[in-house]
Structure formats: structure tokens, C-alpha cells
Amino acid sequence: MHKSTSVKALLVGGATIAATMIPLAGTSYAASCYSLTCDNLGPVTYTCDDDGIEARRVESSDRVARLIWSSKCQAAWVHVKGTQGSIYNSYGYIERYNSSGTVLQKSLSVAIPHGTTTDWSNMLGNSNTGNLFRVCISFQGNEYPLKCSTKY
């Protein structure tokens, strides 16, 4: 009897340890970048999209570019969407400004897809000095004027 009690104790103890090592469904993991360390990194890869909200939006000729902001990562990126009938090549990007209103950096432009698919850019982080961001849509051949949102 003593032997079977020891085996049961080992099995229960082992199962308890194993259970604590398995992540639960819906477990939230911390972002792996923050603020300026997010510059030029992908929002999905670095889990910044988990809490991303639409902070600004700009539309031009049936194209949409949204400035997405992550509080968790303190970073922004542009999310773009085209339409079925789009014939001109267009791009979305975000700009980072300092508190004086000077442009510090522009994100890499992301092509707005032809059709109803979406795409997004890499991120630009917010420094501790309180950067502002805006989102823009530009057209490759200047078929339509540059259109940008207000700053966020």
C-alpha cells in the first residue's frame, strides 16, 4: 500500500507541474517592443496589434488609410484598404512629429492594394517627449492630391 501511495503522489505532482507549463487559451503576452524600440518593426509580429485602435482615418478616391495606435507598445502604424475599382497606384504612410511640429520621420510607404484586401506598414514609436502622428495617402502619378489626417 505504501508503494502505490508514493506512485500516486508522484503522478499527481507531475500532472500539477505539467499543467502550470501549458498556457491557457486567450493568454495575453507582453509586447516585445516599446516606444522607439518598435521603429520599423511589424505590429503583428511584435503583438502590438492586440490593443491597436483607430486613432485617425483619411480617405481619398475610395482608398482608406487608418492610423492605428497601440498604447501597450506606444507605437503607431498605417493600415490600408483599397477597392475593386482602383486603377491608380496609391500608398499609405504615417509621419512622426515632435512637439514643436517638426517632421521627425516618415514610415515606409505601404501600397494600397487593388481590390478589397488590406495591408499595413511597420511601426513608428512614440518617444517620451510626446510625439504626434498623422496618416497620409499619396498617389504615384499625382492623379489625386496628397491627403493627410489631422495629427494625433
Cα 98 from Cα 131, distance rounded (Å): 5
Residue 75 lies in a domain: yes
CB 58 within 8 A of CB 146: no
The verdict on residue 20 lying in a domain is: no
Give a yes or no: residue 36 inside a domain: yes
C-alpha closest to that of 85 among 120, 113, 109: 113
Q: Mind listing the pLDDT tens digit for each residue in 38-71?
A: 999 999 999 999 999 999 999 998 899 999 999 9
Provide Rg for the chain, Cα atoms.
23
pLDDT at 127 over 50: yes
**Residue 53: CATH number of its domain:** 2.60.40
User: Could you give the CA distance from residue 4 to residue 140 in angstroms, rounded to a whole number?
Assistant: 76
Q: Which of the four pLDDT bands, split at 50, 70 and 90, describes residue 92?
A: very high
Q: Tell me what the pLDDT averaged over the chain comes to.
A: 82
Q: Give domain status of residue 13, yes or no.
A: no
Are 77 and 108 within 8 A, CB to CB?
no
Amino acid identity, position 37: T
Asked whether the whole model's pTM tops 0.85, one would answer no
Q: 41 is in which domain, residue-wise?
A: 31-148
Is position 4 within any domain? no
- Which residue, 80, 79, 75, 91, is CA-closest to 124? 75
